[in-house]
Structure 1
Amino acid sequence: MIYPLCALLTGQVNALGRRGAPSGIAKSPVAGPIMLGPTGFEGDAQGDTKHHGGPEKAVHHYPFDHYATWTAEIGPHARLAEPGAFGENLSTLGLTEDVVAIGDVFSLGGAVLEVSQGRQPCWKLNERFDIPDMARRVQTSGRTGWYYRVLQPGAIGPTDRLERIGRADPAWTLRRIWHCFYVDRLNPIELEALARLPKLAEGWRRHAERRLETQSVEDWTRRLDGASEKNRAADGKVSHEPG
């Protein structure tokens, strides 16, 4: 199937929310074609390059399908008036975590993209929406969006359309992976399969291996709430989440 873009968005680094943290989450629609390279779009930037961007997270896709559900849950919100609320580069209708799988390949304009991993929401969504637990809400809902790696760089415009042209393993939907990481969190059969899933980003495969080795679930506090290193050290909490 073919999916027209609702929006193609990029953004530069700016101070975010009351913390003033550097972030590229605020993105705006582009008017014409832009180049997509191995690590992202021309004119797009990240404030935290350790946890955002890079070859396995070159492009962020968030379904516009979810906006109505968020409005129903949190009420009318200015951020939900148009695409871009979740820091996405691509917005479409008809593609969600239920039907998109790791290793799915899409053509878009002159580029070719491959689904690499789900999005792990972070505390910057709390600042973006001015809702203290927005990141936790996103994680709990499974409406997280996903990332692509770039198989073929090329120019992409806002009127271009996504077309799925290949699938590695349709059984490994993003919803299934979310369920494994955040619901049935220590299922050895699923974790072993994830650790061997070749098209899944390396960080997520290591994440599955670590859970198998430790038989424990990593702490999400810092990522979701933005807890400081000092406070986390005092609590004796250690995080080993994938990037």
Structure 2
Amino acid sequence: MRSVTLLTGRAAPLPGCDTLSGIGKTPVTRPLMLGPEGFEGDEQADRRVHGGIEKAVHHYPRDHYPTWRAELGDLPTLATPGGFGENLSTTGLTEAEVAVGDVFLLGGALLQVSQGRQPCWKLNHRFGVPDMARRVQQTGRSGWYYRVLQPGMVAPGDRLELIDRLAPGWTLRRLWHALYIDRMNLAELEGIAALDVLAEGWRKYAVRRLESRRVEDWSARLDGTA
């Protein structure tokens, strides 16, 4: 079991531009209701690509923060949890251990890992680093999302307890490697396409690659050029 720091945030303009984003999260000090689309009081500005049932809760490992500080310096966004827009912050749990379909108990709620986090250009503004989104994608230090299987009250300091593993071989690290590094490994893509505990949007990437034998261009999402 892992003790959890719980964070939420309201939509606000990103540094250096007028675009609203809910990426800025700060720790909460009282119990919150966790519903099918996230914590009470938490906001996502662009609901087309953020939030929703398959991305109700974002978890980012605190373990990655020292590595980012070593690479980028002591940025203010790396001083405390919340820099990556996470709702849950823990230590001792990373993409190498967590698998798609893992079910966790947190307070009165049940959560299931649905997909990895897809970095977007808003991270560049958040950190003041022009290629931050690309760095997150290339390193696989991205965090992950949960769907909510059972709503319930969650309090700061509650413990995250793993209670079931439906696809333990499909760690988030393996999934990242197949989608972002070894991108046309047909055997891996076939496995992803058939992985029913994975969010449908991510399974579609595998299906499209198998059908087209081409890898999609994510430059606009990473650089904000769309």
After TM superposition, the runs of 4+ consecutive aligned structure 1 residues lying more than 3 A away are none
Q: Where in structure 2 are the equivalents of 1:54-133 lying within 5 Å?
A: 54-133=52-131
Secondary structure in 1 matching 2:208: helix
Over residues 178-223 of structure 1, what are the superposed CA-to-partner deviations in whole Å (9 max), with x where a residue is unaligned? 0000100011100011000010000111111001111111111111
Residue 167, structure 1, aligned to residue 153, structure 2: no
What residue is the counterpart of 1:212 in the other structure?
210
Secondary structure in 2 matching 1:212: helix
| CA distance in structure 2 between the partners assigned to 1:35 and 1:95 by the alignment | 24
Residue 52, structure 1, aligned to residue 55, structure 2: no
Secondary structure in 1 matching 2:30: coil
What residue is the counterpart of 1:194 in the other structure?
192
Q: Give the TM-score normalised by the residue count of structure 2.
A: 0.99
| CA distance in structure 2 between the partners assigned to 1:187 and 1:19 by the alignment | 39
| CA distance in structure 2 between the partners assigned to 1:39 and 1:98 by the alignment | 26
| CA distance in structure 2 between the partners assigned to 1:27 and 1:193 by the alignment | 35
Q: Give the TM-score normalised by the residue count of structure 1.
A: 0.92
Q: Give unpaired runs (5+ residues) of structure 1.
A: 229-243
Over residues 20-48 of structure 1, what are the superposed CA-to-partner deviations in whole Å (9 max), with x where a residue is unaligned? 21100011111110000001110001011
Identity among equivalent positions (%) equals 64
Shift of 1:227: 0.3
Q: Give unpaired runs (5+ residues) of structure 2.
A: none
Aligned AA (2:2): Y
| CA distance in structure 1 between the partners assigned to 2:51 and 2:115 by the alignment | 12
Shift of 1:169: 1.3
Q: Where in structure 2 are the equivalents of 1:4-15 lying within 5 Å?
A: 4-5=3-4, 7-15=5-13
Aligned AA (1:10): T
Secondary structure in 2 matching 1:208: helix
Q: CA RMSD in A?
A: 0.6
Over residues 100-131 of structure 1, what are the superposed CA-to-partner deviations in whole Å (9 max), with x where a residue is unaligned? 00000000000000000000000000000000
What residue is the counterpart of 1:3 in the other structure?
2
Aligned AA (1:157): A
* Paired positions, count: 226
Shift of 1:4: 0.4
Secondary structure in 1 matching 2:111: strand
